[in-house]
Amino acid sequence: MAKGEGAEQYSNASLLNKSDSSDSVKLARKSEHRHRLTICNKICYAIGGAPYQITGCALGFFLQLYLLDVAQLDPFYASIILFFGRAWDAVTDPTVGFLVSRSPWTRFGRMMPWIVLSTPLAVMSYFLIWYVPPFEDGKVVWYIFFYCIFQSLQTCFHVPYSALTMFITSEQKERDSATAYRMTVEVLGTVVGTAIQGQIVGMTHAPCLPGPMEILADPTNNYTLIPHNVSEHSISLQYTRNAYMIASAVICSIYILCAVVLCLGVREHETIGIRSKPMPFFQGIKMVMGYGPYAKLVMGFLFTSLAFMLLEGNFALFCSYTLGFRKDFQNILLVIMLSATLAIPVWQWFLTRFGKKMAAYVGSLSAVPFMILVVCIKSNLIVTYVVAFASGVAVAAAFLLPWSMLPDVVDDFQVRNPESTGHEAIFYSFYVFFTKFASGISLGVSTLSLDFAGYISRGCSQPEEVDLTLKLLVSAAPIVLIFIGLGILYTYPIDEERRQGNRKYLQDLRDEEDSETDSREMADMI
């Protein structure tokens, strides 16, 4: 009997050891699964960032030209539409971030429902932005309404998508890797947006209308058959409007496809260790803007970003009228974005070799000589392509560096305020808020300036005042803004030594917390 009891005890002990071993293996596998993402997961996550860049690039480069020459709105009303759309977009970022942070957890996650529900409505509103309604009196209201609706729904997609990084894995290295995939796809998204919109629209050009002086100066008297010409203009203009709608339909299809890939290829996890206290809206503003390094970084990049936004918003008009490349501007824009895509790895290497602050200076200043060159030399298509390629290199730096330096400010804040954690979304959302609000002002002011200069919608040529205004908007004004931004950035206190020290301290802290968490889970298993 004793022998039987001993055998039973041995058997029970063996089963217990096997159970403990099995639990240990399960815990190890669970931990490994929690810390690793497959390449497929990363690609699917990155593809989710493409819609924001594709639609943003199409709107940034072409909406002003569309409102003026295709929808045939007065420049004053076009400036109102652009300003209200961007300003509303800026306001929705922190608002949606506030609402998302308070959303309940569902079986689909916390972020995914926002992405899924916003996608179909965002696609519908984007398509209607590029549709010319069959009435004149309510056109301005139409475009303001659908532009603001789309910006709101796009924010409902992009803010949860940006925050999704924290919920796809708890491993910092995997998050960084997923972010690198995302930035690559987003830059490619700008190329896709420019190519689709530019090439489809470029096949049909809105016809220009001669002014009184051009009719008098025409020795062949080709403008005498006014009714016939007006009819041809109307037909050609309808072709152009159809081309914009086709381009928007293609982009809408890509938007839906990217959302489907994101939802099917990425799983959201309720990550342990994130502790975020809800914070009132104005308290969040006070906290982030009261932190010196963040305020200096945001203000510095605010001015440099405004410089490139002015260039982006007015470059199509500048190419069409001042340079006279009405049929080539879409190819020039494509060269800029292709150049920016190729330059991203170069700037990534440069900032790791020489530091992020130096990269910001070199990247922004590299555009200045070409901004001067493009307005000083006589119109030349080859030189314009060279300038476009060089400008794309600077655009890549302006695109990459703010998002590369913002995490350094968040790390610095956490090191100096260890009791206040989980506020990363506030830093990011308010940076986007200030940038978008300022871009709305810049676009509104630039379009209003064209109105004061006497811009002629669909004119075959523009008054000298308009040419001068366009030169100021794509050259002199951006250069001044770049120097102001770099002057503010000079006072930015986080150098490479301080940045590396912060990263090492936080990494050691995370490793210690992970070790304690794994020990507790192991103890619970046993």
Say what the pLDDT of residue 24 is.
Answer: 44
In sequence order, which residues have a C-beta less than 8 Å from that of residue 24 and are 6 or more positions away? 522, 525
Contact 342, 348 (CB under 8 A): no
Residue 519 pLDDT > 50: yes
Which residue did the predictor score with more confidence, 418 or 218? 418
Residue 315 pLDDT > 90: no
Say what the pLDDT of residue 119 is.
Answer: 93
Residue 251 pLDDT > 90: yes
Q: Which amino acid is at 377?
A: I
Say what the pLDDT of residue 435 is.
Answer: 75
Which residue did the predictor score with more confidence, 229 or 151? 151
Alpha-carbon span 57 to 344, nearest angstrom:
17
Which residue did the predictor score with more confidence, 170 or 259? 259
End-to-end CA distance of the chain: 30
Question: Whole-structure pTM over 0.85, yes or no?
Answer: no
Locate 343 and state its tokens.
């330059």
For CATH 1.20.1250.20, the residue range(s) in the chain are 37-210+236-268, 281-520
Say what the pLDDT of residue 498 is.
Answer: 84
Least confident of 52-56, 109-113, 280-284: 280-284
Record: fold of 37-210+236-268: Growth Hormone; Chain: A; (1.20.1250)
In sequence order, which residues have a C-beta less than 8 Å from that of residue 20 and are 6 or more positions away? 525, 526
Alpha-carbon span 199 to 204, nearest angstrom:
9
Residue 120 pLDDT level (bands cut at 50, 70, 90): very high
CATH 1.20.1250.20 fits 281-520, yes or no: yes
Helix (H) or strand (E) holding 482: helix 477-489
Say what the pLDDT of residue 506 is.
Answer: 72
Contact 485, 307 (CB under 8 A): yes
Backbone angles phi, psi at 204, to 5 degrees: -130, 120
Question: Which of 143, 146, 126 is CA-nearest to residue 52?
Answer: 126
Per-residue pLDDT reduced to its tens digit, 18-70: 444 444 444 444 444 445 778 888 888 889 989 988 998 888 778 888 888 88
Say what the pLDDT of residue 26 is.
Answer: 46
Per-residue pLDDT reduced to its tens digit, 189-212: 888 887 888 888 876 655 565 654
Alpha-carbon span 137 to 463, nearest angstrom:
28
Say what the pLDDT of residue 195 is.
Answer: 83
Alpha-carbon span 235 to 229, nearest angstrom:
10
Alpha-carbon span 467 to 415, nearest angstrom:
51
Which residue did the predictor score with more confidence, 404 or 16? 404
Which residue did the predictor score with more confidence, 354 or 257? 257
Say what the pLDDT of residue 145 is.
Answer: 94
Say what the pLDDT of residue 49 is.
Answer: 87
Residue 475 pLDDT > 60: yes
pLDDT-above-90 percentage for the chain = 12
pLDDT averaged over the chain? 77
Which residue did the predictor score with more confidence, 484 or 415? 484
Least confident of 36-45, 261-270, 430-439: 430-439
